[in-house]
Amino acid sequence: MKTSRRAFAGIKPLSLALRGCVLAAAVATVSIIFFIVGYIVFMGVPNITPEIFSWHYDSVNVSLVPALINTAIMTALSLLISAPLGIFAAVYMTEYARRGNRLVPLVRLAAETLAGIPSIVYGLFGMLCFVMTLGWGYSLLAGAFTMAVMILPVIMRTTEEALIAVPDSYREGSFGLGAGRLRTVFSIVLPPAVPGILAGIILCIGRVVGETAALIFTAGTVAKIPDSAFSSVRTLSVHMYSLSSEGLHIDQAYATAVVLLILVIVINMSSVALAKRITEGKCG
């Protein structure tokens, strides 16, 4: 095949043109990726100074440490709310629901709908529901609940996939030994699915860390370490947004961009690596 391709390359202009298009597109994509990442890193790293890691934020020294801590708290809280719900929902869908169950397509449809909703709509929903109706104000809690709703479909889907990947023989073996459904789920089915579930959860961490639009109107923009669950907080992405839209601290914005980028890359890569290890493990 290879030789014939080479031999005919001279007299097949269409094939040559198509090959050129494909190569050009691939080169363009790769260069876009490296340019974006390279530019942010190149411009940002020289601007990383000890000052932006100081403990307190003020208008002169726009430290990112409070935002970083807030991001960690926000992520932990939203996962605390969403992970059990998502995992339990997936357990119901794969382990409990019988075939022909009318609820299952409905839940799937709901999860797919949730997954498609733009983040700004989540932001408005969070504002109307948690901030105003429940009266929590711009707060950590309102932000965390909004994020929890947003990541719920991701956790459900990844957990479901992980559970489906567990061979049926495990379940049959467990039932055959007289174990109940509950024991089968917790002792047999869930343990081998843990890496898959974890990969999904890490993916969600990346989503929460990178989210801006949904948090501006639910968690607010106060760059302080929160006193309580009801104090307004600013996550790293929101911090990044206010720095770059104010335009006063462009150097610090570059530095913050690098920190955010590296954080998100590390999070996503670990999720991909985890997911890859599972598929390789399954094949081998």
Partner 1 sequence: MSASSAPLSASPCGTRSAVKRLMLLKSEEFGKEVRRSAIRVPEEKKNSMSGAKGKFSESVMKVVFLLAACVSILCVLLICLFLFSNGLPAIGKIGPVAFLTGMEWRPGSELYGIAPMIVGSLYVTAGAIVTGVPLGVLTAVFMAEFCPKRLYGVLSPAISLLAGVPSILYGFFGLVVMVPFVREMFGGSGKSLLTASILLGIMILPTITSVSEAAIRAVPRSSYEGALALGATHERSVFFAVLPAARSGILAGVVLGIGRSIGETMAVIMVAGNQVLIPESLVQGARTLTANIVLEMGYAADLHREALIGTALVLFIFILVLNTSMALSFGRKVP
Within 33-62, the residues that bind partner 1 by CB under 8 A are: 33-34, 36-37, 39-40, 43
- Write down the least CB distance from residue 106 to partner 1, Å: 6
SS3 at position 214? helix
**Which of 103, 164, 165, 248 touches partner 1 by CB under 8 A?**
103
- Specify the amino acid at residue 212: T
- Write down the least CB distance from residue 188 to partner 1, Å: 6
The Cα 144–Cα 134 span in angstroms is 14
Instruction: Find, among 95, 92, 278, the residue nearest to 184 by Cα.
Output: 95
Distance of alpha carbon 100 from its chain centroid, rounded? 32
- Specify the amino acid at residue 278: I
- Write down the least CB distance from residue 210 to partner 1, Å: 3
SS3 at position 32? helix
The Cα 279–Cα 168 span in angstroms is 17
**Which of 76, 112, 134, 164 touches partner 1 by CB under 8 A?**
112
Pick between residue 16 and residue 56 the one whose CB is nearest to partner 1. Answer: 16
- Binding to partner 1 by residue 240, rule CB under 8 A? yes
**Which of 49, 96, 165, 248 touches partner 1 by CB under 8 A?**
96
Ranges within 122-161 binding partner 1 (CB under 8 A): 122-125, 127-129, 133, 149, 152-153, 156
- Binding to partner 1 by residue 209, rule CB under 8 A? yes
The Cα 190–Cα 87 span in angstroms is 10
Are 126 and 117 in contact by the 8 Å Cβ rule? The answer is: no
**Which of 48, 110, 198, 222 touches partner 1 by CB under 8 A?**
110
- Binding to partner 1 by residue 260, rule CB under 8 A? yes
Ranges within 176-195 binding partner 1 (CB under 8 A): 176-183, 187-188, 191-192
SS3 at position 266? helix
- Binding to partner 1 by residue 237, rule CB under 8 A? yes
Q: Retrieve residue 220's tokens.
A: 């607010």
Are 139 and 126 in contact by the 8 Å Cβ rule? The answer is: no
- Write down the least CB distance from residue 126 to partner 1, Å: 9
